[in-house]
Structure formats: structure tokens, C-alpha cells
Amino acid sequence: MKRVITYGTYDVLHYGHINLLKRAKALGDYLIVALSTDEFNAIKHKKSYYTYEQRKMILEACRYVDLVIPENNWEQKTEDVRKYQADIFVMGDDWKGKFDFLKDYCEVIYLPRTPDVSSTQTKEYLNCRNL
């Protein structure tokens, strides 16, 4: 069984996220998503619209995702790759080169982002709308 692991906040889930999860799952048999906790987001000066538990529930409902685990800090990636026996680490290509240190433990793949969509743009659009 080939295991794939990826990381993210997955706030305001959109088709770009689904596209990334679908492509990550296609690389293996089992997809693990390490989801940023609310506490970790605060350290990164990020605030999600949905809580960790709500984002976790949304990801668990996605057919491409087999397991959701908490991401509590930047440093846990090596430990997670080893603990969950990940064969492949996947991130969007805007992170290219940042996680190459994991090549000692698994294959590292940077996937192209889906053009013309981002969580930031989606949130900005929703904030501008008179709902």
C-alpha cells in the first residue's frame, strides 16, 4: 500500500482544494491530510472561517481523504512521515523546495496549483458581497 501525506488549512474548501486532493490520492492508495489546528493557525497569524473540527468534518467527507490528523507545528512533518509510513509527501508548487529535507524519508512531490482560485480570493469576494 502506497501512502501519501499532505498538509494545509483547507479553509473555505473550493474546487482547487478538491483538485489537489484528487491528484494527491491518485499518487497512492491512502491519503493522509494533516490539517492545521486553530492554535497553529494563530501562530501563523491566520484565522479560518471554520473551526478545526468543522474543517476536519468537511475533509473526512471527501472521498479522496482516508485520514485527517492535526497539524500542530511546522516541525512535525518528519515525525508524521515516519509515524504514518508515508511514501510520498505532496504540497502545492508554491512551496517548491521548502520540504526537500523530507527526501531522506520519502518521495517529495510539488503539484501545480489550480489556476484562478484561492481561499484568500474566495474570502475577499464573500466579504465584499452584501449577503
Q: Provide the 3-class DSSP secondary structure of residue 18.
A: helix
Looking at 2, 46, 83, 96, which residue is catalytic? 46
Own/partner contacts of 123-126, CB < 8 Å, gap of 24 or more, are 123/11, 123/12, 123/49, 126/12
Q: Which residues does residue 61 pair with via DSSP β-bridges, in sequence order?
A: none
Looking at 2, 22, 25, 44, which residue is catalytic? 44
Residue 46 is a catalytic residue:
yes
Report the b/e string of 39-53 with b at 16+ CB within 10 A. Answer: ebbeeeeeebebebe
- Which residue carries 516541525 as its cell? 75
Report the C-alpha gap between 27 and 66 in whole angstroms. 13
The residues annotated with a catalytic role in the active site are 44, 46
